[in-house]
């Protein structure tokens, strides 16, 4: 089945590409983690970049990386700083949703730049897409992924996407060592949006919930047994979200038996007759591929391809 493009699709705006010798800011909008600053600086320097660490990265308040005020100030400061070319999050965890109703989305929109993270950071991807309208990147965290030495193509996927090496028409490469599974064949055009399934469900009923109309939904998760994945998908179905989708790309669902997950995915999405492709290596996995949230893409589940249909960054 082919789900055709429609004039109502409104892709998010591309952001400036990460320039060579650029400055990357690191913030901690969710949970705390000890950062080896010397190691982080050396990692960036070896790839031609410098690093700016915002104050909240070094703070800890229980399960949060500093108070809400500190974490919010760092988010705003990183976007407002004209010298910062891209922003990467330290880690996920918990706490990002606490910031949503205090974010100055006009400030973010007026200073759009690559913003990278996953897991709890999903809340920011959804909110920025809905209220600021520019592409963000579901990609590696500084501590767990880049400094944690995730295997390739984690790093190359991240850098190629942000540097602008992938243009409209580019097929996003997927490592052959990790076979994909076609749950439902077909072709769909839409905005790629989503992230952590638990976080997507947690924002339902708020002004920051996923705007699912015309969307190819990307989902991933960790530490959720199969029955809870079922519950989360049922939540989205009962909320009317699934019927608005054009297709589904399923990333890593860590800790769940793959064959059991595939059966659940078929059962959950079959009534909607949309393409579904499973096994994409993005999320809490190694390697962890970067995906452009809010960008217009084409999903060919039968051929197991994901193709960019717009430039996601613009070189200055």
What is residue 312's DSSP assignment?
Answer: S
Which two three-digit tokens encode residue 31? 């949970």
Q: How far apart are the first and last CA of the chain?
A: 39
Angle at 103 between CA 205 and CA 121, to 5 degrees: 70
- The CA distances from residue 97 to 124, 144, 205, 207, 299, in Å, are 8, 21, 13, 11, 29
Contact 227, 145 (CB under 8 A): no
Looking at 119, 129, 157, 282, which residue is catalytic? 119
Peptide bond into 85 cis (omega under 30): no
Check: CB of residue 131 under 8 Å from CB of residue 105: yes
- The SS3 of residue 255 is coil
Active-site hit among 76, 125, 138, 284 = 284
Residue 235 falls in the annotated catalytic set: no
How many Cβ atoms are within 10 Å of 102's Cβ, its own excluded?
A: 11
- Sign of the alpha-carbon dihedral angle for 71, 140, 129, 108: positive
User: Catalytic site residue 138?
Assistant: no
Q: How far apart are CA 314 and CA 167, in angstroms?
A: 9
Pairing mode, if any, of strands 215-222 and 187-196?
parallel
For tokens 């989503």, what's the residue? 194
CA angle 55, 148, 90 (to 5 degrees): 25
Residue position matching structure tokens 């072709």: 187
CA dihedral of residues 207, 56, 113, 52 (deg, nearest 10): 180
| 83 is a catalytic site residue | no
Collapsing DSSP to helix, strand or coil, 183 comes out as: strand
Structure tokens at 297: 């893409």
Q: Which residue in the list 155, 220, 224, 309 is annotated as catalytic?
A: 220
Q: Active-site residues: which are they?
A: 119, 220, 284
């Amino acid at each position: 089945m082919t789900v055709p493009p429609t004039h109502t699709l409104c892709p998010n705006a591309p952001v400036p590409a990460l320039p060579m010798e650029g400055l990357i800011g690191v913030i901690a909008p969710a949970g705390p983690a000890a950062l080896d600053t010397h190691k982080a600086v050396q990692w960036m320097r070896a790839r031609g970049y410098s690093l700016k660490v915002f104050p909240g990265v070094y703070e800890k308040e229980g399960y949060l990386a500093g108070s809400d005020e500190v974490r919010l100030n760092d988010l705003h400061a990183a976007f407002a700083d004209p010298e910062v070319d891209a922003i990467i999050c330290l880690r996920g965890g918990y706490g990002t949703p606490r910031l949503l109703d205090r974010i100055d989305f006009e400030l973010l929109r007026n200073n759009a730049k690559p913003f990278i993270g996953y897991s709890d950071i999903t809340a920011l991807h959804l909110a920025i897409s809905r209220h600021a309208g520019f592409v963000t990147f579901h990609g590696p965290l500084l501590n767990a992924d880049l400094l944690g030495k995730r295997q390739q193509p984690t790093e190359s996927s991240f850098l190629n996407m942000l540097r602008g090496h992938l243009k409209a028409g580019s097929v996003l490469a997927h490592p052959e060592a990790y076979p994909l599974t076609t749950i439902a064949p077909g072709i769909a055009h839409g905005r790629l949006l989503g992230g952590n399934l638990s976080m997507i469900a947690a924002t339902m009923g708020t002004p920051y919930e996923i705007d699912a109309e015309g969307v190819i939904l990307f989902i991933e998760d960790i530490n959720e047994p199969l029955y809870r994945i079922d519950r989360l998908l049922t939540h989205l179905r009962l909320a009317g979200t699934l019927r608005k989708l054009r297709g589904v790309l399923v990333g890593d669902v860590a800790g769940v038996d793959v064959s059991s997950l595939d059966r659940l995915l078929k059962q959950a999405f079959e009534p909607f007759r949309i393409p579904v492709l499973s096994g994409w290596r993005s999320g809490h996995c190694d390697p962890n591929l970067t995906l452009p949230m809010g960008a217009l893409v084409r999903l060919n589940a039968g051929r197991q391809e994901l193709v960019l249909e717009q430039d996601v960054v613009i070189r200055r």
